[in-house]
C-alpha cells in the first residue's frame, strides 16, 4: 500500500487509480489506490476502527457503513459502485454470523472510487461508556490493559522447523506490529496444545493470544476468541464485593458479595490489627482467609454468568490499607502503630497464581495505589470514580464508614485525611442498632407538636402510621435501627426540640411518665420508636452521643482539610460508601456531618470505591491516571494535626445557630421548622 496523501487538497483531480475516502464521525480523510481495504485506509489514517482478527473476516469488529450521496464540499459522490461487491468470504460471514443489510466488513470492502464511510460506535476500539446513575462509571473510554490478537500461522514442516514460539511471535509482529513480547509460563505451557487444537482446516494453525500491557503474552486459545473478562473486587472489612465485567464493553455480567471471613479475627480493623500484634506470625492466616473469600466470590461470579474462569484475565482490587496489604500477603501490623507507615503505596500488578485466585493462570490482579496509613486503595477508587482532580470546582468526597476517608480539592490540588468516626454510622454501638437489612428502621420523622414518631423499615414501602403497616411488617417485624435511621432519629429529635444542641435529652415540659414514647432512666430518658411485645426499639442518650462523636469526626476532618486548602466553602459534596449512599443528605447536614451548603450540590456517589475498581479494570490509562494523582495527594494526619482536637470539640454540638449553617437554616424555614 502506498503512503496515503492525507492532506486536504480539494482541487486536485484524481487519476482513476487513486480514490478519496473520508471516515465519519472523525472526519479523517486520505487518498488511496484502488483495492485498498477500508480497514487498511482506516489504520493508515489513525481512524478508530476495531479489528481482532487482523483483517481475516473472522471477528466482524470492523463493520462500517457506506454514506450514500453527493458530498459537494468534499468533492465526493459516494455510491455503491465505489466499493467492491461483497466477496465470497464476506458473504459467508453474513450468512453464518449475520450482518445488517447496510453494513460491510471493512477488511473486505475494497476502494473503487471516492467514498464517505461511517464508523458506527460499536466498531470503535475505544468505546465510550456514558454514566447514567451513581453506581455506573463515569464517561470512560474503554481500553483494557489486556487485549486479544488473532493469528494464523503456517504449520511446521521439515523445511520450516521454527519453534512454535518463533512462529507465533513472528506472526504477531507481522500482523499486529507487536514485538519483544515476554511469554508467561501459563501461555507457553498451553501454546502447543492451543495451536494444534485450533488446526481446523487447511495448512494453518489458528489461535488468539491475550497480550497484557503490550508487553506480555499471558494466554493463548485455539481458533478465534472474541471476548475477555475481568473482575473488580471491593474488599471491605465486613463484606467483599465483586463485579464480573466484559473487558470489551464494560458490561457487568454478574455481581456478588460474601462476608469477609476475617471477621473471626475481629469485628473491625483495629481488633484485627490487635490480633496480629498479639499473635506474631499470624498475618498469613488472615491472608488465607481473605483470599479464600476472593476464590469463592470468583467461582460464584463465573457460575452466575455461566462463563469459564479461564476467560477471566484481569482483576482489580480496592480496599483500605489493611485489607490491601493482607490480600497481597503483606503483614500490616505496623499500620496500627504510630507513625502508621504503609509498606507499599504504589499501584501494583500481581499474578493470579501468586494470589491463589482461580482465574486464567496467566492473569493478573491490579491493586489500586494506597495514599496513607489510613487512606487506602478504596479512597483511590473513590477519587478515580468521582474525579475531583479533573474538576475546576472545589469538590469534597467523603467515604463514610468506620473511618471517614475525606478528599478535598480540584484539578490543581487534592488533600486527603482519614477521620475516626467509629462504627455508629453502621449501626454498631447503638443500643438498638443493626446493619441495613430488612426489618431495620431507615427513615424517621418526629412530630414537633405531638412528639410522636413515624418511621419506615427496609423492605416495606409504607410508613408506620399508614394503614396496612402491621400487615406489611408481619414477615420481617421491626428488628432495629440502621445507620441512616439513627441519623434521622437524632436529627428529628433535635428539630422537635427533644434533644438540645448539646445532645442532651429535654422533655419540653412534658411529664415523661405520661407519654408513651418516653421512658425515664434516672435523671435522663430514652425515646421509643416502636414497641412489639417485649421488644422496644428506642434511642438512648448513649446513641445520641455516639452519633455526635461520629459526625463530629467527619465534620472536623473536613474542616481541617478546608483550612489546609484555605477555603471556606465547597462547590460539590459527594457522599460515598454503602452508608454514605443510603443516607438522606438533608439529614446528614441537619446533624452537621457535612459543611453547610446548597442541598442540590450534595449527591450520593454510590459505592464509589467499587466503581473506581471497575474503571481501573476497563482502562489502562485510568491506572496511570490514579497512580499519578495519588502520588500527588497531600496527606493530613488527623492524629497529629494541631487543630483537629479543637475542631472536634467545637463540632460536637448539633447545628443550631444560623451563622455557620445559613443554608440549613433556609431549608428548615422552607419546611416551617426554622429554629429561633
Nearest distance in Å: CB 336, its own copies = 13
Burial environment of residue 399 by CB neighbours within 10 A (0 to 12, 13 to 18, 19 or more): buried
Residues 489-528, one symbol each (x = binds its own copies by CB under 8 A, - = not), give: ----------------------------------------
Taking Cα atoms as reference points, which of 534, 433, 575, 449 lies closest to residue 490?
433
Which one of the spans 47-55, 97-105, 116-124, 342-350 is the region binding its own copies (CB under 8 A)? 342-350
The answer to whether 639 contacts its own copies (rule: CB under 8 A) is: yes
Whether the Cβ atoms of residue 394 and residue 410 lie closer than 8 Å to each other: yes
Q: Choose between 633 and 654: whose C-beta lies nearer to its own copies.
A: 633
Burial environment of residue 214 by CB neighbours within 10 A (0 to 12, 13 to 18, 19 or more): middle
- Pick one of 2, 35, 213, 338: the residue that binds its own copies (CB under 8 A): 338
Q: CA dist 34 to 2, 67, 111, 117, 220, Å?
A: 11, 19, 5, 16, 36
Burial environment of residue 193 by CB neighbours within 10 A (0 to 12, 13 to 18, 19 or more): exposed
The answer to whether 373 contacts its own copies (rule: CB under 8 A) is: yes
Which one of the spans 163-171, 223-231, 393-401, 618-626 is the region binding its own copies (CB under 8 A)? 163-171
The answer to whether 537 contacts its own copies (rule: CB under 8 A) is: no
- Pick one of 68, 252, 344, 462: the residue that binds its own copies (CB under 8 A): 344
Helices 283-305 and 269-278, interaxial angle, to 10°?
140
Cell of 650: 467545637
Q: Are strands 18-24 and 115-118 parallel, antiparallel or unpaired?
A: parallel
The answer to whether 637 contacts its own copies (rule: CB under 8 A) is: yes
Nearest distance in Å: CB 74, its own copies = 48
Q: Choose between 72 and 158: whose C-beta lies nearer to its own copies.
A: 158
Kindly identify the residues of this chain, within the stretch 201-260, that bind its own copies according to CB under 8 A.
none
Q: Choose between 165 and 437: whose C-beta lies nearer to its own copies.
A: 165
The answer to whether 98 contacts its own copies (rule: CB under 8 A) is: no
Tally Cβ neighbours within 10 Å of residue 106: 28
The answer to whether 330 contacts its own copies (rule: CB under 8 A) is: yes
The answer to whether 341 contacts its own copies (rule: CB under 8 A) is: yes
- Reported as type and span, the H/E element at residue 395 is strand 395-400
- Reported as type and span, the H/E element at residue 121 is none
- Pick one of 77, 84, 141, 192: the residue that binds its own copies (CB under 8 A): 192
The answer to whether 645 contacts its own copies (rule: CB under 8 A) is: no
The answer to whether 310 contacts its own copies (rule: CB under 8 A) is: no
Q: Choose between 368 and 570: whose C-beta lies nearer to its own copies.
A: 368
The answer to whether 185 contacts its own copies (rule: CB under 8 A) is: yes
Q: Choose between 26 and 189: whose C-beta lies nearer to its own copies.
A: 189
Nearest distance in Å: CB 46, its own copies = 30
The answer to whether 342 contacts its own copies (rule: CB under 8 A) is: yes
Q: Choose between 175 and 639: whose C-beta lies nearer to its own copies.
A: 639
- Pick one of 8, 163, 271, 450: the residue that binds its own copies (CB under 8 A): 163
The answer to whether 462 contacts its own copies (rule: CB under 8 A) is: no
The answer to whether 635 contacts its own copies (rule: CB under 8 A) is: yes
Q: Choose between 64 and 416: whose C-beta lies nearer to its own copies.
A: 416
Supply angle C-alpha 614, 616, 622, rounded to 5: 135
Helix, strand, coil content of the chain in percent (nearest 5): 35, 25, 40
Kindly identify the residues of this chain, within the stretch 99-118, that bind its own copies according to CB under 8 A.
none
Taking Cα atoms as reference points, which of 143, 326, 167, 149 lies closest to residue 230?
143
Tally Cβ neighbours within 10 Å of residue 228: 23
The answer to whether 197 contacts its own copies (rule: CB under 8 A) is: no
Starting at the edge strand found earlier in the chain, the sheet holding 312-319 runs 252-259, 239-246, 229-235, 312-319, 364-367, 348-351
Taking Cα atoms as reference points, which of 401, 387, 465, 395 lies closest to residue 435?
401
Which one of the spans 186-194, 245-253, 474-482, 494-502 is the region binding its own copies (CB under 8 A)? 186-194
The contact set with its own copies (CB under 8 A) reads 156-158, 160-167, 183, 185, 188-189, 191-193, 196, 328-331, 334, 338-346, 348, 350, 353-354, 370, 372-373, 635, 637, 639-640
Amino acid at each position: 500500500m502506498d503512503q496515503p496523501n492525507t492532506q486536504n487538497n480539494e482541487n486536485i483531480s484524481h487519476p482513476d487509480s487513486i480514490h478519496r475516502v473520508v471516515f465519519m464521525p472523525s472526519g479523517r480523510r486520505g487518498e488511496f489506490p484502488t483495492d485498498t481495504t477500508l480497514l487498511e485506509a482506516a489504520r493508515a489514517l489513525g481512524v478508530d476502527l476495531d479489528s481482532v482478527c487482523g483483517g481475516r473476516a473472522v471477528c466482524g469488529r470492523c463493520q462500517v457503513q457506506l454514506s450514500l450521496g453527493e458530498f459537494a464540499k468534499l468533492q465526493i459522490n459516494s455510491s455503491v459502485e465505489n466499493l467492491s461487491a461483497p466477496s465470497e468470504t464476506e458473504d459467508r460471514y453474513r450468512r453464518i454470523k449475520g450482518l445488517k443489510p447496510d453494513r460491510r466488513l471493512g477488511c473486505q470492502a475494497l476502494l473503487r472510487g471516492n467514498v464517505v464511510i461511517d464508523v458506527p460506535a460499536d466498531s470503535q476500539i475505544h468505546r465510550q461508556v456514558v454514566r447514567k446513575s451513581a453506581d455506573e462509571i463515569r464517561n470512560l473510554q474503554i481500553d483494557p490493559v489486556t487485549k486479544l490478537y488473532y493469528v494464523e500461522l503456517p504449520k511446521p514442516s521439515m523445511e520450516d522447523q521454527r519453534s512454535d514460539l518463533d512462529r507465533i511471535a513472528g506472526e504477531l509482529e507481522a500482523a499486529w506490529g507487536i514485538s519483544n513480547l515476554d511469554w508467561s509460563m501459563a501461555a507457553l505451557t498451553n501454546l502447543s496444545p492451543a495451536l494444534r487444537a485450533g488446526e481446523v482446516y487447511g495448512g494453518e494453525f489458528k489461535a488468539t493470544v491475550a497480550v497484557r500491557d503490550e508487553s506480555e503474552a499471558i494466554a493463548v486459545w485455539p481458533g478465534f476468541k472474541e471476548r475477555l473478562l475481568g473482575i473488580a473486587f471491593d474488599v471491605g472489612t465486613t463484606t467483599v464485593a465483586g463485579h464480573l465485567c466484559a473487558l470489551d464493553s464494560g458490561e457487568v455480567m454478574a455481581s456478588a458479595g460474601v462476608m469477609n471471613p476475617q471477621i473471626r479475627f475481629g469485628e473491625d480493623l483495629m481488633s484485627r490489627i490487635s490480633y496480629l500484634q498479639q499473635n506474631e506470625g499470624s498475618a498469613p492466616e488472615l491472608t488465607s482467609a481473605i483470599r479464600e473469600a476472593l476464590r469463592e466470590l470468583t467461582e460464584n461470579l463465573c457460575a452466575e454468568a455461566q462463563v469459564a474462569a479461564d476467560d477471566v484475565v484481569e482483576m482489580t482490587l480496592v480496599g483500605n490499607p489493611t485489607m490491601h496489604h493482607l490480600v497481597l500477603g503483606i503483614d500490616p501490623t505496623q499500620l496500627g502503630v504510630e507513625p502508621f507507615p504503609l509498606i507499599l503505596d504504589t499501584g501494583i500488578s500481581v499474578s493470579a497464581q501468586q494470589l491463589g485466585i482461580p482465574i486464567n493462570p496467566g492473569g493478573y490482579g491490579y491493586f489500586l495505589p494506597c495514599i496513607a496509613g489510613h487512606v487506602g486503595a478504596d479512597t483511590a477508587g473513590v477519587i478515580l470514580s468521582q474525579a475531583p482532580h479533573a474538576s475546576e470546582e472545589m469538590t469534597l468526597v467523603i467515604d463514610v464508614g468506620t473511618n471517614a476517608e475525606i478528599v478535598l480539592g480540584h484539578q490543581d490540588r487534592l488533600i486527603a485525611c482519614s477521620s475516626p468516626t467509629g462504627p455508629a454510622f453502621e449501626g454498631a454501638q447503638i443500643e438498638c442498632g443493626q446493619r441495613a437489612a430488612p426489618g431495620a428502621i431507615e427513615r424517621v420523622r418526629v412530630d414537633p407538636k405531638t412528639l410522636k414518631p413515624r418511621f419506615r423499615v427496609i423492605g416495606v414501602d409504607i410508613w408506620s402510621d399508614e394503614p396496612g403497616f402491621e400487615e406489611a411488617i408481619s414477615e420481617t417485624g421491626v428488628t432495629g435501627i440502621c445507620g441512616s435511621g439513627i441519623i434521622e432519629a437524632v436529627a428529628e429529635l433535635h428539630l422537635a426540640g427533644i434533644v438540645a444542641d448539646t445532645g442532651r435529652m429535654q422533655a419540653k415540659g412534658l411529664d415523661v411518665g405520661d407519654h408513651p414514647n418516653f421512658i425515664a432512666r434516672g435523671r435522663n430518658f430514652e425515646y421509643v420508636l416502636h414497641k412489639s411485645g417485649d421488644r422496644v426499639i428506642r434511642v438512648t442518650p448513649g446513641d445520641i452521643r455516639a452519633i455526635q462523636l461520629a459526625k463530629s469526626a467527619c465534620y472536623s476532618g473536613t474542616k481541617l482539610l478546608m483550612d489546609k486548602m484555605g477555603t471556606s466553602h465547597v462547590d460539590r459534596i459527594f457522599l460515598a460508601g454503602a452508608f454514605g449512599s443510603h443516607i438522606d443528605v438533608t439529614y446528614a447536614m441537619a446533624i452537621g456531618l457535612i459543611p453547610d451548603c446548597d442541598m442540590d450540590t450534595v449527591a450520593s456517589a454510590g459505592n464509589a470505591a467499587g466503581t473506581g475498581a471497575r474503571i481501573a479494570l476497563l482502562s489502562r490509562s485510568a491506572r496511570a491516571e490514579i497512580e499519578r494523582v495519588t502520588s500527588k495527594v497531600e496527606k493530613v494526619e488527623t492524629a497529629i494535626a494541631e487543630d483537629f482536637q479543637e475542631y472536634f470539640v467545637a463540632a460536637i454540638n448539633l447545628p443550631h445557630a444560623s451563622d455557620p449553617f445559613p443554608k440549613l437554616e433556609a431549608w428548615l424555614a422552607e419546611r416551617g421548622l426554622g429554629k429561633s
